[in-house]
């Protein structure tokens, strides 16, 4: 079988990667595309951390990711092998982690903060997409998500943003932005803008991977 086409989707916290991916995946069936998220490759930390320890722990460093396993699973999918991976829950005690079964597909989407920083991962990517947003917009999205999904207070989320998220973005993501095939600025709240972008990219991929022409 032909080598799968690997698409990398990078971008800072709060840039809107999740919504972009949701719209993007709707253009394909489960047999056509699979998704590998860097978030599921965090090296586990103690679940009995105190609230203060959790606040101070910096998740926004490449060293917190099991890069070898991340790369190994991408390589397996490129060899058309199924990957099994436990969902990571960011130490949220209210979430029971699921066992994820990731089946290979002609298009592999790899998403995460450090996919361009990890050289082995970056070298596997056939197309790179960078999702970006102004800092104020991204912060509002981050605060909303951390309150709803990760059990952080506004104070803890704000601390992480200023001390962990922004410095990591500037050191480990921003240097790669202008090297990407596409840079998508996602400051708006109008879903149609992102939907239009995913329409265009998905059509380009259908032509590249499946030989389909635009109707």
> Going from the N-terminus, what domains does the chain have, and what CATH number goes with each?
5-208 (3.40.50.300)
Q: What is the per-residue pLDDT across 156-195, written as a single tens digit (0 to 9) for each?
A: 888 889 999 999 999 999 999 999 999 999 997 777 888 8
Which pLDDT score, from 0 to 100, does residue 98 have?
85
pTM score, whole prediction:
0.89
> Which carries the bigger pLDDT value, residue 55 or residue 128?
128
Average pLDDT over residues 42-46: 78
| Distance separating alpha carbons of residues 150 and 145, to the nearest angstrom | 7
Mean pLDDT of the chain: 89
SS3 171: helix
Q: What is the per-residue pLDDT across 57-78, written as a single tens digit (0 to 9) for each?
A: 898 999 999 999 999 999 999 9
Which pLDDT score, from 0 to 100, does residue 172 have?
95
Q: For residue 16, how far is the Cα from the chain centroid?
A: 10
- Percent share of the chain, pLDDT over 70: 92
Report residue 117 as tokens. 């920083």
Task: Kindly provide the b/e burial profile for residues 11-36, where b requires at least 16 CB atoms within 10 angstroms of the residue's own CB.
Answer: bbbbbbbebbbebbbebbeeebbbbb
Which pLDDT score, from 0 to 100, does residue 10 have?
97
């Amino acid at each position: 079988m032909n080598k799968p086409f690997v698409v990398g989707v990078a971008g800072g916290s709060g840039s809107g990667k999740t919504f972009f991916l949701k719209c993007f995946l709707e253009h394909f069936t489960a047999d056509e595309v699979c998704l590998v998220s860097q978030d599921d490759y965090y090296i586990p930390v103690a679940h009995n951390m105190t609230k203060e320890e959790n606040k101070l722990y910096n998740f926004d460093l490449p060293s917190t990711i099991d890069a070898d396993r991340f790369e190994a699973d991408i390589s397996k999918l490129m060899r058309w092998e199924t990957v099994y991976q436990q969902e990571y829950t960011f130490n949220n005690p209210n979430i029971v982690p699921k066992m994820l079964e990731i089946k290979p597909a002609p298009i592999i989407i790899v998403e995460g903060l450090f996919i361009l920083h990890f050289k082995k991962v970056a070298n596997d990517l056939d197309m790179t997409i960078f999702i970006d947003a102004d800092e104020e917009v991204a912060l509002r999205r981050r605060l909303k998500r951390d309150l709803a999904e990760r059990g952080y207070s506004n104070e803890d989320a704000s601390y992480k943003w200023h001390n962990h998220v922004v410095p990591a973005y500037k050191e480990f993501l921003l240097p790669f932005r202008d090297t990407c095939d596409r840079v998508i600025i996602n400051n708006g709240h109008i879903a149609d803008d992102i939907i239009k972008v995913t329409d265009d990219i998905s059509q380009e991929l259908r032509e590249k991977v499946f030989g389909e022409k635009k109707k």
